[in-house]
Copies of this chain bind each other. A is one copy, B any other.
Amino acid sequence: MKLFPRKISSFLVCPLALLAIITANAQDPLPSWKDGAAKSSITSFVKKITKDGSTDFVPISERIAVFDNDGCLWSENPLPFQVIFAADEIKRLLPENPEWKENASVQALLKGDTAALLGDHHKGLLEIIALTHAGITTDEFDTRVKNWLTTAKHPKFGRAYSKCIYQPMLEVLSYLRANDFQTWIVSGGGQDFMRVFAEEAYGIPPEQVIGSHGVAKFELKDGKPTLTKTLDTVFIDDKEGKPVGINQFIGRRPIAAFGNSDGDKAMLEYTTIANPKPSFGLIVHHTDGEREYAYDAKPKSSGKLVKALEDAPKNGWTVVDMKEDWINVFPSAK
């Protein structure tokens, strides 16, 4: 008679194996990253700047990391999600606004004529944004974004847009915060739009979300404080606007920057070139047409990555090959 039948001996052995796996994972803050140069560049940097007494040590208050959003923390295809939101809003609100049917931009949108919307410096798209992102209170806008996020699904991934976020980047965010970094979003996307979901999706509170924005209008309406969204003095938080936005909101130079397109080049330069503190730059290169999209050399809408990729070697920026470097792309929960 066996002292331990097979099932019981498995039971005895397995917990040890399980423990080994758990321990390995506990030691690995980035389990969705394949071992390799990209992954180790992140962990080496963090170890270096957190080592007390080392010349590379950076005090906690200076541990500022900045992240682009579209294409860096979540997908930006088939179109940036905020554009899809605007299009869905136009369709939803059309019955209440029949006059919109005469509007050439709305007509282009309803026909799916992206070229017409993006022509003439995105004039049509900006008109769609104006119709859906201004003239309403900030509270009403928040509600609309929340409703959209709970109902709309991504056409390729079949999941809510706020779940089309990159698991490996969520791990980087958590890892940095565990090492006392502040993690900020610095994105060309709409500030008010991102603030609705950034805390739940990324653990980033509204006050650490910088994006494109207009100046709101404050007034007491029937004695009640009201903020109305406008497109007055719009600030575009893209390209050279990113370091400007960082200076305006944070007032300190970051030591780590994460992007994915030429729109992030100035932010990467500001963070890493001639920074008296140790610094780190990383570019997510979209190479995975199967699990996500491979588009960044010639994107249909946003996310062009040519110049920043060229400059990466000389500036020491890590380039992440999404297909090769990431074990998972999205979180398991849809």
Contact = CB atoms under 8 A, between A and B. Distances in A.
Interface string A191-227: 1100100010000011101000101111110011101
A227 B182 CA distance: 22
B215 A251 contact: no
B218 A244 contact: yes
A243 B269 contact: no
A247 B220 contact: no
A143 to B, nearest CB: 14
Interface of A: 61, 138, 182, 191-192, 195, 199, 205-207, 209, 213, 215-220, 223-225, 227, 233, 235, 240-241, 243-244, 247-252, 266, 269-270, 273-274
A235 B247 contact: no
- Interface of A: prevailing SS: mixed
A240, A244, A247 — which one has the most chain B CB atoms within 10 A of its CB?
A247
B273 A223 contact: yes
B216 A270 contact: no
9 contacts: A138-B247, A206-B251, A213-B248, A215-B235, A218-B247, A220-B269, A225-B273, A227-B244, A227-B247
B206 A274 contact: no
A217 B235 CA distance: 13
A205 B59 CA distance: 13
Nearest to A271: B225
A259 to B, nearest CB: 15
3 nearest CB pairs, A to B: A206-B251, A218-B243, A218-B240
A133 to B, nearest CB: 14
B244 A207 contact: no
Contacts of A274: 223-225
Nearest to A269: B225
Nearest to A253: B225
Contacts of A249: 207, 249
A61, A207, A244, A270 — which one has the most chain B CB atoms within 10 A of its CB?
A207
Contacts of A240: 217-219
A244 B215 contact: yes
Contacts of A247: 138, 216, 218, 227
Contact of A243 (B192, B205, B227): B227
Contacts of A191: 248, 251
Given A217-B240, A227-B247, A249-B249, 13 more contacts: A61-B205, A192-B251, A195-B251, A207-B251, A213-B248, A215-B248, A216-B244, A218-B270, A220-B269, A225-B243, A225-B270, A227-B244, A233-B233
Contact of A273 (B206, B215, B216, B224): B224
Contacts of A225: 243, 269-270, 273-274
Contacts of A273: 220, 223-225
B251 A209 contact: yes
Contacts of A233: 233, 235
Nearest to A251: B206
